[in-house]
């Protein structure tokens, strides 16, 4: 979806259409927070998502700052996904404003290169929500994602296998989903800037620099190769609640506020888990200090839980293990190793006698030479 949060706000505030708009924090750009989405008019001033609100004001004083309204974005998110599902039901959720769609078995895909189907999806999304989106059609998720970024907003880009050299190789390596700021900087330090340069690099060199797994993966994706399936459902692994304070808290002088916040986050998290009927066995806390250093501590319980008292108790035990030597900017609680409520507890590992396979000879583990 194009500038999703900003575009949703403009549906309610047509008076702001054409003006620079940024969504972030509580809508007050003098307070702590970042821009989550900037309208294209705001982007023209250099306002970008992830940028400090205060910095955005400096770049664009006339920018309108609106508070983040997750419930409304969630509502429009459901609508656009339903509109897509009516055309192509095999959809992988990639967050609130993005999906992968498997078009390979959709009737009509054989008639052209996917352009007509993608145009139909764009039309239906707009009809259902009033919002525009950008679509990339390609042989795999890696290329589709890059393609969807080539023409924005309201774009439609087809990338075939034979187009990789012409359309993909000139792009910066950073455009690959999975190459972030750190990997990009290291690539640049060895003279690799574009995807084409990455493709031309011997895989052994990448393995030497980035390790076997990541190095080989880089070589594959640089050639446009990706065989990940479109995954239509996955169980959640963890859930967390965290908050950044308006001012950095002193670990002793502001202890009351720190403790009250942790307790309140634990209560919220327990409520969210219970509402979704999940329980988890590992409870953790996360702190961000004023120097932006992050520490985590976690604790695995004998039994999975969504109980507020147990989560809070474990969270405070974790917090007690953190050396509090600086002011604290953020605190959060997480429950991981989630399972559905009522699912059988992970029992102690059972010892099962190995059954000799009839297909394979019963080989000794070591050659007794």
Partner DNA sequence: TCTGGGGTCCTAGGACCC
Site string for DNA, 38-77 (x = CB under 7 A): -----------xx-xxxx----------------------
Strand-strand pairing, 64-66 and 91-93 = unpaired
**Contact status: 230 vs DNA (CB under 7 A):** no
**If you search the block for the tokens 């890059």, which residue do you land on?**
146
* Number of other CB atoms surrounding residue 312 within 10 Å: 21
How far is the C-alpha of 53 from the C-alpha of 23, rounded, in Å? 9
- Closest distance of CB 116 from DNA, Å: 25
**If you search the block for the tokens 């969210």, which residue do you land on?**
272
E strand segments, the chain: 21-23, 37-38, 64-66, 91-93, 99-101, 135-137, 156-158, 238-249, 278-289, 294-305, 328-340
- Closest distance of CB 315 from DNA, Å: 12
**Contact status: 215 vs DNA (CB under 7 A):** no
- What SS3 string covers 8-22? HHHHHCHHHCCCCEE
Given a contact cutoff of 8 angstroms between Cβ atoms, the answer to whether 334 and 238 are in contact is yes
Work out the widest C-alpha separation in the chain, in whole angstroms.
84
**Contact status: 267 vs DNA (CB under 7 A):** no
Residue of the chain from 40, 45, 214, 316 that contacts DNA (CB under 7 A): 214
- Closest distance of CB 321 from DNA, Å: 6
Given a contact cutoff of 8 angstroms between Cβ atoms, the answer to whether 244 and 272 are in contact is no
Task: Pick between residue 130 and residue 345 the one whose CB is nearest to DNA.
Answer: 345
**Contact status: 211 vs DNA (CB under 7 A):** yes
Per annotation, catalytic residue among 98, 197, 209, 341 = 98
Tokens, residue 14: 């047509």
Residue of the chain from 295, 307, 309, 345 that contacts DNA (CB under 7 A): 295
Task: Pick between residue 112 and residue 125 the one whose CB is nearest to DNA.
Answer: 125
Active-site annotation holds for 98: yes
Residue of the chain from 242, 254, 257, 341 that contacts DNA (CB under 7 A): 242
Task: Pick between residue 82 and residue 184 the one whose CB is nearest to DNA.
Answer: 184
**Contact status: 241 vs DNA (CB under 7 A):** yes
**Contact status: 16 vs DNA (CB under 7 A):** no
**Contact status: 182 vs DNA (CB under 7 A):** yes
Residue of the chain from 220, 240, 264, 274 that contacts DNA (CB under 7 A): 240
Residue of the chain from 3, 9, 22, 25 that contacts DNA (CB under 7 A): 25
Residue 206's beta-bridge partner residues?
none
Tokens, residue 196: 């084409």
| Residue 163 exposed, middle or buried by CB count within 10 Å (0-12, 13-18, 19+) | middle
Interface residues toward DNA, by CB under 7 A: 25, 32-34, 36, 49-50, 52-55, 94-98, 145, 176-184, 211, 213-214, 234, 236-244, 247-248, 272, 281-282, 284, 292, 294-300, 318, 321, 329-330, 332, 334, 336-337, 349
The residues that are catalytic are 98
């Amino acid at each position: 979806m194009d500038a999703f949060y900003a575009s949703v706000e403009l549906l309610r505030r047509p008076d702001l259409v054409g003006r620079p708009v940024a969504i972030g924090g509580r809508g007050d750009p003098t307070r702590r927070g970042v821009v989550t989405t900037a309208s294209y008019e705001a982007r023209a001033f250099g306002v970008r998502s992830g940028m400090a609100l205060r910095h955005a004001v400096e770049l664009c004083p006339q920018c309108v700052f609106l508070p983040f309204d997750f419930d409304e974005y969630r509502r429009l998110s459901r609508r656009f996904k339903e509109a897509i599902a009516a055309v192509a039901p095999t959809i992988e959720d990639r967050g609130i404003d993005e999906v992968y769609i498997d078009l390979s078995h959709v009737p009509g895909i054989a008639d052209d290169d996917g352009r007509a189907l993608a145009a139909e999806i764009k039309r239906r999304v707009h009809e259902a929500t009033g919002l525009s989106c950008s679509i990339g059609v390609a042989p795999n998720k890696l290329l589709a994602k890059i393609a969807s970024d080539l023409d924005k907003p309201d774009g439609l880009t087809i990338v075939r296998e034979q187009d990789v050299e012409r359309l993909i190789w000139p792009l910066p390596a950073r455009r690959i989903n999975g190459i972030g700021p750190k990997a990009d900087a290291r690539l640049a330090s060895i003279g690799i800037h574009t995807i084409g340069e990455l493709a031309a690099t011997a895989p052994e060199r990448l393995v030497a620099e980035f390790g076997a797994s990541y190095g080989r993966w880089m070589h594959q994706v640089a050639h446009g190769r990706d065989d990940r399936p479109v995954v239509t459902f996955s169980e959640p692994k963890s859930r967390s609640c965290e908050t950044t304070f308006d001012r950095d808290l002193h670990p002793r002088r502001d202890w009351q506020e720190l403790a009250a916040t942790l307790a309140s986050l634990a209560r919220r998290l327990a409520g969210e888990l219970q509402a979704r009927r999940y329980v988890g066995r590992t409870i953790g806390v996360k702190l961000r200090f004023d120097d932006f250093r992050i520490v985590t501590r976690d604790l695995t319980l004998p039994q999975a839980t969504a109980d507020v008292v147990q989560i809070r108790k474990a969270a405070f035990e974790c917090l007690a293990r953190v050396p509090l030597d600086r002011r604290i900017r953020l605190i959060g609680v997480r429950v991981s190793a989630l399972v559905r409520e009522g699912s059988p507890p992970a029992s102690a590992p059972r010892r099962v006698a190995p059954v000799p396979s009839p297909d394979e000879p019963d080989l000794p583990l070591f050659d007794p030479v």
